[in-house]
Amino acid sequence: MLEVYGLTHCDSCRAARRALSEAGVAHTFIDLRTTPPDRDTLNHWLAVLGEQALVNRRSTTWRGLDEAARQRPAAELLAAEPTLIKRPVLVEGTRVHCGGRAPDWLAFAQAP
C-alpha cells in the first residue's frame, strides 16, 4: 500500500491526500512529527532521491539553523529535524517520490 509521509497541517500534504483519495488510491498517512522515519529509511530515501531533492532548504526550519547544523550529514540532519524533509514523500515498496503536484503524485501511485 502507498504510504504518504508529511505533516498534518501542510497544504501540499493535504492536497496530495485529497488527490489520491479522489483518484481512488488507497494510502496510509504518516505524520513526520509524530512518527519520524528511522535512519535506514532516511538513508534509502537519500539514496533514491538525493540530498538536493529531499532536504527542503526553503523551509522556516532551514532558515532557523546555524551554519554548523546545516553542514551535518543529511541523514543526521533529517533525523534530528524531520520537518526539513521535502513533502509529501510517497513510498511504495522501494520506490520513493517527494514534492510535486497532483499529476506527479498520481503518476507515481499508478506506476507499476
Instruction: Give the catalytic positions in this structure.
Output: 10
- C-alpha cell of 35? 512518527
- d(Cα 90, Cα 4) in Å, to the nearest integer? 5
- Helix, strand, coil percentages for the chain (3-state, nearest 5): 50, 20, 35
Take residue 36 and report the three cell numbers written for it: 519520524
- How far is CA 33 from each of CA 7, 9, 25, 82, 106, rounded to the nearest angstrom? 7, 11, 24, 7, 24
